[in-house]
Amino acid sequence: MGRRKKPARQAGPVSSRTLADLSTGERCILDRLDLPEDVARRLMELGFLPGNEIVPGRRAPGGGPRVFRVDGSEIALRDDTAARLYVRRDPESDLIVLA
């Protein structure tokens, strides 16, 4: 029942990538939240602020919500919420790859 583990999608401009597209451990920087005001606010309070680094972690068994490491804690989100959080690459992770 492994919900498709999306291979890093190359198409499109970088900012069209969302949290839901990332594979486990792929660091990224949050760009914007495309969510209703109250949900966005709650997420921002939990650390999902534009400019913050997010690391996707484990997914619940059977393809449930996924745990994200953000701002020192671990927060679980469903895929449909994660798909509304647009991200860009973490420049630091590029540096690591180059090094």
Q: Which residues bind other proteins (CB under 8 A)?
A: 2, 35, 38-39, 41-47, 49-51, 57-65, 67, 69, 71-78, 80-81
Min separation Cβ 32 and other proteins, Å: 12
Q: Which is nearer to other proteins, 9 or 32 (CB)?
A: 32
Q: Which is nearer to other proteins, 9 or 42 (CB)?
A: 42
Q: Which is nearer to other proteins, 2 or 12 (CB)?
A: 2
H helical segments located in the chain: 37-45, 79-82, 91-98
Name the nearest CA neighbour of 90 among 62, 42, 34, 51. 51
C-alpha pair distances (Å), 31 with each of 1, 23, 75: 31, 17, 18
Min separation Cβ 56 and other proteins, Å: 13
Name the nearest CA neighbour of 73 among 90, 40, 48, 92. 48
Whole-angstrom distance, CA of residue 85 vs CA of residue 80: 9
Min separation Cβ 42 and other proteins, Å: 6
Q: Which is nearer to other proteins, 11 or 39 (CB)?
A: 39
